[in-house]
Chain A
Amino acid sequence: MSLLAQVRLTRGSLELDVEVAADEGEVVAVLGPNGAGKSSLLRALAGLLPLAQGQITLDGTVLEDPGKNIFVPPEQRPVGMVFQDYLLFPHLSVLENVAFGLRSRRVPAARARARGWLERVGLTDLADVRPAALSGGQAQRVALARALATDPRLLLLDEPLSALDVTTRSETRRDLRRHLATVSGIRLVVTHDPLEAMALADRLIVIEGGRLVQSGPAAEVTARPRSRYVADLVGVNLFSGRARGTQVELVTGCALTVGDQAQADVFVVVHPRAVAVFRQRPDGTPRNVWPLRASDIDLHGDRVRVRLVGAVTIVAEVTPAALADLGLADGREVWAAVKATETSVYPA
């Protein structure tokens, strides 16, 4: 039982061209910036957005293939979807909402089953309440129950936690993880929050500008980002260039000395922690030393992140005390140093 989808479509100014494969029991997170095409991908899989080209096959059944004129309408696909705004039917009670899919598919004892699902998400006493009276977290659980009640082979979740405030989010994330774990079938979660992606999913795929940029286990994707977006999300510096031995020539022209030998096109990751900032040119072991200028200064918890621009653009992480000591401010000329051993290099 698996999903195999080649999705090619155009929506407004977005051209989506993505291939997604997932196996039974997998939770895949789809990560990407706004406008990347994540929601469009989900809608296409659900059948709400027709493909221009490509194919969608689920459990061996072809759901859509424009080339062969095959299109299974959404109501006939074994797909369930939890929407970003939940979209609970405002004129129906919570129980009727959850029972909706069952009644539409003419499943017997629909309401009894719906009650069962409400119990599983812990909302039995809210059965006769209207969605307007629910809190964010409760609405999310109802939306999940509603989608799961029809026992879909493919469950799509479009930013399931983004409508919640920060405090509810972490608690609901834990609940969601628990509920997702009890469900069989393939689960695809769209999110722009890497924490969420790592908490919920086994595998990550990253979509940017309608294209698949990176795919793999969560740990690998975050340790070895292959795009600026992922690097920014994870919070590391990313460089790309051509390696020759321990020298990497960056696309900007500058050279970076790395710890491991490498050849051809590579990515180099430097954690902001590994960037040291000096008032004057340091004289020591670091192979990578540049004169730069401080540009943006951000507080991150009890650390400060300083963006330095010049021959390279790099983010350094320092303590607030160090910031004050150096008199680091916008426009200040400084020197930055990175030890070659503090870099991580991998093929592009």
Chain B
Amino acid sequence: MGRGRRPVPLPIGILAGASAAFFILPLIGLILRAPWAELWPDLTAPESLLALRLSLVASLSATALALILGLPLAWIYARVVFPGRTVLRALTTLPMVLPPVVGGVALLMAFGRRGLLGQVLDAAFGIRLPFTTAGAVLAETFVAMPFLVLTVEAGLRSMDRRYEDAARTLGAGRWTVLRRVTLPLVAPSLFAGAVLCWARALGEFGATITFAGNFPGRTQTLPLAVYLALETRPDAAILLSLVLLVVSLVVLVVLRDRWLGSA
């Protein structure tokens, strides 16, 4: 960022412009094609409301689960060195790059009725996860948790650990240090990670439909509703897609400084 105003090199400007158009055009297309007259009836139709409510409940639950399971994991990755850490870290980051449907199949193999753990849960406790809301939450947690773990881990690594030393010399035990020093210092990363996790969970499709199936009110989250509405009520599909897009946009704008590179 020099003081003098130098013009942007032309090739960079053109490519950047094309790149921006690539992302903006679908949004513009959606906005232009949306049947705004039917906005209220379509969005408030029982199926839409059902899907919206389920999506919110499921994604928030998934985020909560990701926080409970992911924070300890992030802490271990950032602070503890143990053999096989690299491999374990790669494995728990896999859902980020795996095609979601593959993730869904993998979940079936583990938690399905005939799955490794699923069998035990079914036989011993009568707990079945596929085709349930809990199953949808599990699928969303599976794909979204890596976002939380990586973000928080980065925050913990970049934090100045000497603050923890200072706290200890002042008489704070390990739990107090975590509570009053470490967590407040990584709060920005925690927030960013949780929001990203929630946004990813909200938009999850492949793993949900494969593992939890599709049933209105129980497992039909907003993305699934959009997919099916595309065939019968395309206008409603466009409007519901807009809802998801607006949510994602808001998330990104809110996180712009913390996450997508502060200037």
A interface list, Cβ under 8 A from B: 43, 46-48, 73-77, 79-81, 83, 85, 87, 89-91, 100-101, 104-105, 146-147, 150
Contacts of A104 in B (CB 8 A): 167, 170-173, 176, 180
Chief secondary structure at chain B's binding surface? helix
Q: Is the CB of A89 within 8 A of B169?
A: no
The size bracket of the interface on B is: 10 to 19
Give bound CA distance, A90 to B159, whole Å.
Answer: 12
Q: Does B64 contact A (CB under 8 A)?
A: no
Contacts of B185 in A (CB 8 A): 90-91
Contacts of A48 in B (CB 8 A): 165, 168-169
B164-191 Cβ-contact flags toward A at 8 Å (1 or 0): 0111111111001000110011010000
Give bound CA distance, A324 to B201, whole Å.
Answer: 80
Contacts of B173 in A (CB 8 A): 75, 104
10 residue pairs of the A-B complex, CB under 8 angstroms, read A73-B168, A75-B168, A76-B171, A83-B165, A89-B181, A91-B187, A100-B180, A101-B172, A104-B170, A150-B171
Q: Is the CB of B170 within 8 A of A100?
A: yes
Contacts of B168 in A (CB 8 A): 47-48, 73-75
Give bound CA distance, A191 to B187, whole Å.
Answer: 35
Contacts of A150 in B (CB 8 A): 170-171
Q: Does B6 contact A (CB under 8 A)?
A: no
Give bound CA distance, A38 to B170, whole Å.
Answer: 20
Give bound CA distance, A77 to B184, whole Å.
Answer: 25
Contacts of A75 in B (CB 8 A): 168-173
Choose from B166, B171, B172 the contact partner of A83 (Cβ within 8 Å): B166
Chain A nearest CB, measured from B60 CB (Å): 26
Q: Is the CB of B184 within 8 A of A83?
A: no
Q: Is the CB of A87 within 8 A of B162?
A: yes
Contacts of B162 in A (CB 8 A): 83, 85, 87
Give bound CA distance, A43 to B170, whole Å.
Answer: 13
Q: Is the CB of A74 within 8 A of B163?
A: no
Give bound CA distance, A105 to B170, whole Å.
Answer: 8
Q: Is the CB of A87 within 8 A of B163?
A: yes
Closest A residue to B185 by beta carbon equals A91
Closest A residue to B183 by beta carbon equals A91
Choose from B169, B176, B181, B184 the contact partner of A74 (Cβ within 8 Å): B169
Contacts of B163 in A (CB 8 A): 87, 89
Give bound CA distance, A146 to B171, whole Å.
Answer: 11
Q: Is the CB of A146 within 8 A of B170?
A: yes
Closest B residue to A90 by beta carbon equals B185
Choose from A43, A85, A101 the contact partner of B171 (Cβ within 8 Å): A101
Chain A nearest CB, measured from B173 CB (Å): 5
Contacts of B176 in A (CB 8 A): 104
Give bound CA distance, A48 to B164, whole Å.
Answer: 10
Q: Is the CB of A101 within 8 A of B170?
A: yes
Chain A nearest CB, measured from B125 CB (Å): 41
Give bound CA distance, A81 to B165, whole Å.
Answer: 10
Chain A nearest CB, measured from B181 CB (Å): 6
Q: Is the CB of B170 within 8 A of A80?
A: yes
